[in-house]
Chain A
């Protein structure tokens, strides 16, 4: 006779079976039975956040920095609605998460019960898939499906909504080792004919360019990408989501591209004759206006796991649907075996052109300024951490400076909300990254506006002794909003000034952390060194920076990549 378990026990057992180490959550009425079961075991450690949005971002940071599925647990009603921002953030960046949400008892569904919302309905547009479990006998297989769907194909968040009575009902626990779904069969192998065509086109290139995105990180394809680029000696750019996919200190790396990409990356994108797009999706912040991007001379190879990403904004010549790592490895094999060789002369000319673009030194800034330049803080952070930190960020100018000036040589080190652009992401995602990498250095580069959107998590950091280093680039403005207002709204700084700021040093101290205020450029390095020596402590570093600094280069909205505003 098999023993019957309650739905709550089954839920926790499923998480154990999946090898889940941490679950980020916040209790409430509908999930009390699940919390009761969590209490009785110690395999799955629960991290109590202070707001459900943070639970999702923390699970997200955990997933991004570790290649595991992140797991969050929230209660019904407001628990879920608070979580929606975090779910949508993960969805936009294709991060594998499983979210368990409590629901009112099945009999109360539709009765406008206390803390009832239509969770499946509210989250439908921002999940890869979601389930409402009405029968306890289907609970284990549903949770299994959730993990499978979240982590395969193009990854994404999957939500499992469990009514309270289902967590009380009993069923035999049998966790399936695999599930097959007739309607879900993600491909991984690319079409071999298409890959052959791609290899031929690559070898015929005179002005080639490799453009890679978050797909390379998600599919752990950095090594394959690096090998291919080295083999061909082609220039390579990464999107904001793809940073670390190719080593930033390698000479073939031309920097990030896009709205705040480097001059050389954007020009090379615009004027190349063969573009190899790998796990990237030509989004509006990357290529600007597709009409301006279009070029008759340019042929495009697009490798992506998601067919709907191909030819969505930009028509491509050779689409290859498949796992980017598998396709890249196939390409490497074909190119190595091919008798045809690259036109070295043309490639040399192309590199000469790119180097002349590089000479514009588009990321230069005033290094002699008497006030702290935010770029310098990021550069010093890079130096002090030897480029080896896990860096999370919020959204805005500081995010762009982090992306431009911290040179990521490894994947999964750069953690930011690229798609949704969620302020408040930095601190909680850093918590997740720290838990996933207990020996790693985790820095959160943020601004005084963003950090206040999830500042309550300083309390969570205290509870679990998470020794994060918070780099607050404090310019007393919502910097990116101010920049747009300066450029496009006649310097009318409508509601973008951050007035009545807290004393961040005291605030950090009141949460039991170390606070520092740094006001002079000459103090940056020493302060960072001192902070990183405090290995056991969270240090909140409040850098008072130049209020008027702008992010350059900039491709204004609706323009093309060669129409950058330069410093």
Chain B
């Protein structure tokens, strides 16, 4: 099953490699990972999407907790949460396709943030599955390049990850 694990960790060089090293050393999957400092510049928050059985996820959270620089950790998918991912897609946009692509972007609440006479760059935010869905609607040969941030998320309401 897919899990979104959120970590609060010391904003120190090397902390990221400890997490990445742990995953490769123990053979866990990383689907996506993103990290940036929080409002407190001494802390970083990382969101990690992984796939595994309940036993594997339990081990992952325990092992992450053991890392000295990890302050707190929560498996967002264990409860109510919101999830967002940002994607930029550059697509070939020529002739009548231009109108069609714009309509499609509107349907997905995307915005076109760069335009040339041959291409559009679309910015799209949503759950990872929404971004997947958008990519599926585009013809493969129209997509010039894609970049995704990987999922970020927060618990709903009172579910707060704080030091």
Contact = CB atoms under 8 A, between A and B. Distances in A.
Contacts of B71: 182-183
Given A124-B17, A124-B18, A125-B21, A312 B68 contact: no
Given A129-B68, A183-B9, A183-B10, A308 B21 contact: no
A422 B55 CA distance: 30
Contacts of A124: 14, 17-18, 21
Interface stretch (B57-65, B117-125, B145-153): B57-65
Contact of B68 (A121, A184, A308, A311): A184
A121 B17 contact: yes
SS class, residues of chain B in contact with chain A:
helix
Contact of B69 (A120, A183, A308): A183
Interface in B107-163: 163
A182 B25 contact: no
Contact of B59 (A149, A181, A183, A312): A312
Contacts of A129: 68
A21 B18 CA distance: 32
Given A124-B17, A125-B21, A311-B55, A183 B68 contact: yes
A308 B25 contact: no
Nearest to B15: A183
A125 B23 CA distance: 11
Interface string B10-47: 10001001100100010000000000000000000000
B5 to A, nearest CB: 15
A128 B68 contact: yes
B72 to A, nearest CB: 8
B69 A125 contact: no
A306 interface: yes
Instruction: Determine the interface band of chain A, counting residues with CB < 8 A from chain B.
Output: 10 to 19
B76 interface: no
A311 B58 contact: yes
Given A124-B17, A124-B21, A306 B66 contact: yes
B134 to A, nearest CB: 38
Tell me which of B17, B63, B66 has the highest count of chain A C-beta atoms within 10 A of its own C-beta. Answer: B66
Contacts of B62: 307-308
Contacts of B17: 121, 124
Given A128-B68, A182-B71, A308 B59 contact: yes
A315 B69 CA distance: 28
Nearest to A315: B55
Nearest to B72: A183
A98 to B, nearest CB: 14
Interface in A123-142: 124-125, 128-129, 132
B93 interface: no
22 contacts: A120-B14, A124-B14, A125-B21, A125-B25, A128-B68, A129-B68, A132-B14, A181-B68, A182-B163, A183-B9, A183-B68, A183-B71, A184-B68, A306-B66, A307-B62, A307-B65, A308-B59, A308-B62, A308-B63, A308-B65, A308-B66, A315-B55
Interface of A: 120-121, 124-125, 128-129, 132, 149, 181-184, 306-308, 311-312, 315
